[in-house]
Amino acid sequence: MNMDRQVIEKALSKPSPYGPDIDLSRYRLGKPEIGEVNELDIDPRLNETLNRVGFRNVNRLSYIQVNESAKYRIMEEYLRKYGVRIIPLRKALDEIDFARKLSWNLIRPDLDKYTAATYLYGGEIGYFIYVPPNVKVPIPIYTCLAITSDEKIQFAHNIVYVDEGAEAHLVTGCAVPHGIRDGLHIGISEFYVGRNARLTFSMIHAWSEKLHVRPRTSVNVEEGGEYVSYYIIYSPVASIQTYPMVRVSRDGKAYLANIVAASGNGIYDIGSKVQLFGNNSSAEIVSRVVARGKSKTYARSAIEAYTSNTKGHIECLGLLLSENAQISSIPVITSKKPGALLSHEAAIGVIAEKELEYLMSRGFTEEEARAILIRGFMSIDVPGIPRSIKIEVNRILDLVTKFAVG
């Protein structure tokens, strides 16, 4: 997108309508770098970080970004035989016309100060993934973004294009190792799902108490396409604010599931919006929040129908595990044409005593029974996620449960 630089610079002082405002001048900027990964170069703390987001094997990763250094590796070679391209975005923007057309096309650089800063100072570090027409990528594509030093801003700008009739499963882990305290992560993601194509995107966040996170995601689903997002955050965080936007065309589908285990003093402002533009398009947004400590969670969900014969449903459920935590559930359904069928349900409660007592009578201690119920509460049958990813997500949900139980 060609936009007047002055307009974007002006946006550097434009706060987001949601979430606490962050003073960007508090953070250091590193020099963006791109390189091929060398095992010896990997920060030893990275393995621990990978573990936090369920990636037990660094060799499976196609792309790693540590702070502002993008590394891509051997898996990329393996995926290339299917015609799949996974390269650092800056390299893609230098070499591929198509990538340039996609960049900053779904998200305006002047949206807010975070997008503006990424556009101006981010150095276009991030990944570019292209899946050619009709290619069903047989293995999940793993990527990881990590922050390993204090007081830094990590920018990431990611573009994924799944071409007509193709299918890909992307798994991204974002994390900091234990001991890292202060920092800011801004991730810009522009996803394109072509005609009759399918993209599943599983993202696992494991941050730390003083880290602020501002992902900005926009997805375009073309005719007959399908986008499935499965987002999990389970660690403490100073604040996270995100509100991904998905535009769905005719016969397209979007399914977004958010699982939030909030803790500490963190502010978790997690939203999802789907706009149904085409006939027979549909959307479902499901969120599960378990909150403890003094955390505050805002679960925002919105479905907007611009055409008749569309369907949308929002389900927001929250579980308060402490006296001082707070959950606000904000589902909004908007219909701009008669004939759209939109619905929502929202409920916030505590663990049902009857269920707890029942499990205890089966021989589970109170702690075990709570863990079983919290784990069950967070279990969502996300459609179309491959079994291998489900197994990993289940492992993560076990971790989330341990974390939520405290």
Residue of the chain from 355, 384, 390, 403 that contacts another protein (CB under 8 A):
355
Do residues 205 and 178 touch, judged by C-beta distance below 8 A? Answer: no
> Does residue 181 belong to the site contacting another protein (CB under 8 A)?
no
Instruction: Give the residue with the Cβ less far from another protein, 82 or 403.
Output: 403
Q: Are 248 and 221 in contact (CB under 8 A)?
A: yes
By CB under 8 A, tell whether 352 contacts another protein.
Answer: yes
Does residue 59 touch another protein according to CB under 8 A?
no
Residues in binding contact with another protein, number by CB under 8 A = 21
- Contact between 78 and another protein by CB under 8 A: the answer reads no
40, two tokens: 């010896």
Region near another protein per CB under 8 A, out of 17-25, 150-158, 248-256, 348-356: 348-356
- Taking CB under 8 A as the binding criterion, the range among 67-75, 78-86, 272-280, 369-377 that sits at the site for another protein is 369-377
Residues 29, 139, 245, 360: which binds another protein (CB under 8 A)? 360
Q: Does 29 bind another protein (CB under 8 A)?
A: no
Residue 313 touches another protein, criterion: CB under 8 A: no
Instruction: Output the CA–CA distances (angstroms, integers) from residue 38 to 54, 58, 67, 294, 376, in the order listed.
Output: 21, 11, 16, 42, 41
Of the candidates 99, 94, 102, 108, the residue with the CA atom closest to the CA atom of residue 4: 108
Can residue 357 be called a binding residue for another protein (CB under 8 A)? yes
Q: For residue 296, give Cα distances in angstroms to 19, 79, 325, 401.
A: 11, 41, 6, 18
Binding segment for another protein (CB under 8 A), chosen from 114-122, 138-146, 217-225, 361-369, is 361-369
Is 365 an interacting residue with respect to another protein (CB under 8 A)?
yes
CB of 405 to another protein, least distance (A): 15
Q: Does 406 bind another protein (CB under 8 A)?
A: no
Indicate the residue among 365 and 388 with the shorter CB distance to another protein.
365
DSSP secondary structure of 325-375: -EEEEEEEEEESSTT-EEEEEEEEE---HHHHHHHHHTT--HHHHHHHHHH
Structure tokens at 176: 């900091």
Residue 19 amino acid letter: G
Residue carrying the six token digits 């995601």: 217
Alpha carbon 84 to its chain's center: 22
Residues that bind another protein (CB under 8 A): 352, 354-355, 357-366, 369, 372-373, 375-379
